[in-house]
Structure 1
């Protein structure tokens, strides 16, 4: 699921930064333009960061190894916790719908990544 989030946000921001800035997340809400002047470089960089996290998520999932999941979980948390923290402190000017939407959307990557860094429970099976 983190890969889907990363691709949605990342491909949009990287490929169409002005559209992303003006209309993200869509459906009548605008979250990015409220926070300051347009900066194409910054929007594209954030987009490619999300695409990179999505790509690493796909590789980790395909590896079927706990250490791969743990590494990508740490990467998502290192990005997502400060990102969420910033937005929690900057909710002025948003409608209640957009506040709820931002908190839920930005918390999702933390919630999805946290179990990936949890210790692996022994299964009783030995791997070759």
Structure 2
């Protein structure tokens, strides 16, 4: 598959993943807190904060989705860079606040968060090498 061939499905994957998480945070914040892995290990529950983060996450997903459809160079770069502006500090916070986590939770959470950094970073490198559009 070509670099361009990886960009569209990669952007779409990120859009769907963030969209599902964001909609759950926005529409069902208590369920997200109670049932999404690892979230309840960092209390307290705050409905306002979860709904705000959910709305921002839905916005991020929307930009990623539009980039996946349009495949316009600047939009793809901006969508991926904006995604990393969230994903990197999110990764740093969670990997430095592991009190109360079991070893399995540390491994699974860290692995999941690594993917949320590596995927957009790799897509950004691909886009930079072989500009879309």
Q: How does the TM-score come out when normalised to structure 1?
A: 0.84
* Pairing partner for 1:2 from 4, 8, 14: 14
Q: Give the Cα separation in 2 of the matches to 1:88 and 1:20.
A: 20
Structure 2 match to 1:121: 130
Q: Give the Cα separation in 2 of the matches to 1:72 and 1:95.
A: 34
Aligned with 1:36: secondary structure?
Answer: coil
Q: Cα RMSD (Å) of the superposition?
A: 1.8
Q: Compute the displacement of 1:68 (Å).
A: 1.6
2:110 aligned with 1:107: no
Q: Compute the displacement of 1:120 (Å).
A: 2.9
Structure 1 match to 2:26: 14
Tell me which protein shows more helix as a share of its residues.
2
Count how many residue pairs are aligned between Structure 1 and Structure 2. 119
Over 4 Å off, 4+ runs:
none
Q: How does the TM-score come out when normalised to structure 2?
A: 0.81
Q: Compute the displacement of 1:107 (Å).
A: 1.6
Q: Compute the displacement of 1:117 (Å).
A: 2.8
Larger Rg: 1
Structure 1 match to 2:40: 33
Long gaps (5+) in structure 1? 26-30
Structure 1 match to 2:53: 46
Q: Compute the displacement of 1:50 (Å).
A: 1.4
* Pairing partner for 1:65 from 40, 61, 72: 72
* Larger RCO (CA under 8 A, 6+ residues apart): 2
Long gaps (5+) in structure 2? 1-12
Deviations 1:13-35 (A, max 9, x none): 1110011111113xxxxx11211
